[in-house]
């Protein structure tokens, strides 16, 4: 009986540390217009600060759809923030009111009110969703 309980416990522990790959497909990219920044976040406190993400990738905006893959993630909830840096200045440009003037998007197509969406609105469980689509707006 103890051996059976131990085996079940070990199996449940190992399920929580299984590495997953997350594929992020970014759509509605303006081809040949700069680069696309893809940021991955695992903490609400860091989302969507550019320098505070868990991982990030910069991809040439070579077509209307680009793909980023984040390998070996621990099972859990993650949020993705994306923007297209059309002029390659390393930031999301905004107008005088603070509204973005370059394309951007979030996982779950989450939208904020007077700012970015919450982590919870954008978060996905990568064990259930190993591939997500982010639409740039």
113, pLDDT greater than 80? yes
For residue 130, name the pLDDT band (cuts at 50, 70, 90): confident
102, pLDDT greater than 60? yes
Overall fold of domain 19-135:
Immunoglobulin-like (2.60.40)
What pLDDT shows up at residue 50?
74
Span 52-69, mean pLDDT? 96
13, pLDDT greater than 90? no
What pLDDT shows up at residue 17?
55
Q: Do 124 and 78 form a contact (C-beta atoms < 8 A)?
A: yes
What pLDDT shows up at residue 6?
34
Span 20-25, mean pLDDT? 93
**CA pair distance 10, 29, nearest whole angstrom:** 44
What element of type H or E holds 2? helix 2-16
Instruction: Quote the distance between the C-alpha of residue 87 and its chain's center.
Output: 22
Higher pLDDT: 26 or 98? It is 26
Higher pLDDT: 49 or 103? It is 103
């Amino acid at each position: 009986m103890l051996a059976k309980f131990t085996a079940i416990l070990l199996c449940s522990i190992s399920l929580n540390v299984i590495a997953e790959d997350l594929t992020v497909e970014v759509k509605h990219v303006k081809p040949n217009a700069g680069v696309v920044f893809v940021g991955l976040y695992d903490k609400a406190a860091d989302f969507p600060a550019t320098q505070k993400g868990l991982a990030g990738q910069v991809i040439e905006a070579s077509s209307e759809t680009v793909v980023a893959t984040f390998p070996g993630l621990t099972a859990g909830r993650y949020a993705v923030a994306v923007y297209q840096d059309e002029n390659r200045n390393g930031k999301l440009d905004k107008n005088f009111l603070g509204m973005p003037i370059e394309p951007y998007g979030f996982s779950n197509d989450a939208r904020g009110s007077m700012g970015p969406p919450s982590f919870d609105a954008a978060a996905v469980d990568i064990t259930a969703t190993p591939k997500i689509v982010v639409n740039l707006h």
